[in-house]
């Protein structure tokens, strides 16, 4: 009886392995000839063709807005205030304000729209310690 069970177990295992190989063939193949040759690709065609209606944009096509918080005579004070504004979570930078290069403007921004500044004006005024700032258009 034990021999019959052993032979039955081996036969069932063999059938199961055969079924696995038959129904679940190997997905990995090194044979390149199995690639479907009916798929055609044209690598010489551009993916995006430029037409007369297509406009190429550059940085100068975008208008931004800044809030000029202060004009200071000390570059160190301007940089200190800029860092304070940045730590408060707002973008900020310093630019030379006049031709003599002795005044430095502290700007908060740039922002995408004037409304972005107006919606956050209380926070901007608090961070920049300014009540008399000015909203200005700004180009990159």
Q: Look at residue 19 in the predicted model and tell me its pLDDT.
A: 78
Pick the CATH number of 61-139 from 3.30.70.1070, 3.40.120.10, 3.40.50.2300, 1.10.1040.50: 3.30.70.1070
- For 31, 96, 114, 117, 121, the CA distances from 135, given in Å and listed in that order, are 67, 17, 7, 8, 10
Which residues of 3-130 form beta strands (DSSP E)?
63-72, 92-96, 104-111
Q: Where are the chain's structural domains?
A: 61-139
Q: What is the pLDDT of residues 61-107, one digit of tens each?
A: 678 999 999 999 999 999 999 999 999 999 999 999 888 889 999 99
Q: Look at residue 57 in the predicted model and tell me its pLDDT.
A: 66
Q: Look at residue 30 in the predicted model and tell me its pLDDT.
A: 53
């Amino acid at each position: 009886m034990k021999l019959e069970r052993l032979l039955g177990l081996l036969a069932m295992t063999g059938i199961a392995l055969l079924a696995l190989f038959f129904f679940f063939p190997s997905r990995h193949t090194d044979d390149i000839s199995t690639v479907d040759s009916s798929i055609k690709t044209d690598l010489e065609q551009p993916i995006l063709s430029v037409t007369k209606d297509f406009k190429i944009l550059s940085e100068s096509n975008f208008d931004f807005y800044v809030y000029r918080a202060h004009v200071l005579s000390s570059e160190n004070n301007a940089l200190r205030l800029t860092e304070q504004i940045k730590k408060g979570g707002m973008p900020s930078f310093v630019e030379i304000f006049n031709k003599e290069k002795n005044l430095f403007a502290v700007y908060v921004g740039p922002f995408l729209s004037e409304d972005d500044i107006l919606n956050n004006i209380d926070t901007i005024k608090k961070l920049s310690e300014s009540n008399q700032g000015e909203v200005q258009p700004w180009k990159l």
